[in-house]
Amino acid sequence: MAPPLRGIILIGMRGAGKTTVGALLATRLGWTFDDLDEHALRRSGLPTVRDVFAQQGEPAWRTLESDSIRDVLTGINARSGGGAVLAVGGGAPSDPRSAAQLRRARSEGWRIVWLRTSVARLVERLQACEGDRPRLTPAPLDQELAALHAARSAGYESLADLTVDGDAPPADVSATLASALA
């Protein structure tokens, strides 16, 4: 027998809308929302994700992400009542430690949702607001995202319990997810 639904974990590429959709979905459901990048950043003691990448490197960031996933899931699982929505960084599912924790979360009542978003939409969103997200290669943004999309999609798909169209407006995506959970 499957455990009762504890929450939703959103995965997908940077720019897929995980944070925006997650906040909207949590509000719609009356649940809490956590952006795991924020937890990892606090652990780092640095002001931005770009600073972590520049000063400590990507492997250090992946460790911070994995530790944050573990700690946040443990904290939420320990409390009683109320659901939660978690947005996980785009590269976290490709880290074996984080992927194992996400798989384990399923047995604890979490559902994993992949916001599958086209490269064209990712480029459009990130050109409008790249924010604190570090570039991972010196390639032009569209080429970098196409390569990452190709490398990560199978992993996202293997983790996902549900896949939704991340190209849709965030309000529509959150409404679709809320309906799917009803």
Neighbours of 15 (CB within 10 A): 25
Q: Going from the N-terminus, what domains does the chain have, and what CATH number goes with each?
A: 7-181 (3.40.50.300)
Could you give phi then psi for residue 10, rounded to 5 degrees? -95, 130
The pLDDT of residue 1 = 65
In DSSP notation, 64-110 reads HHHHHHHHHHHHHHHS-S--EEEE--TTGGGSHHHHHHHHHHHHTTE
* Beta carbons of 74 and 103 less than 8 angstroms apart: no
Token code pair at residue 32: 């809490």
Strand order in 162-165's β-sheet? Answer: 32-35, 84-87, 7-11, 110-116, 162-165
| Residue-by-residue pLDDT tens, the chain, 182 positions | 667 889 999 999 999 999 999 999 999 999 999 999 999 999 999 998 889 988 999 899 999 999 999 999 988 887 767 799 999 999 999 999 999 999 999 989 999 999 999 999 999 998 887 666 665 667 788 999 999 999 999 999 999 999 999 999 999 999 999 998 86
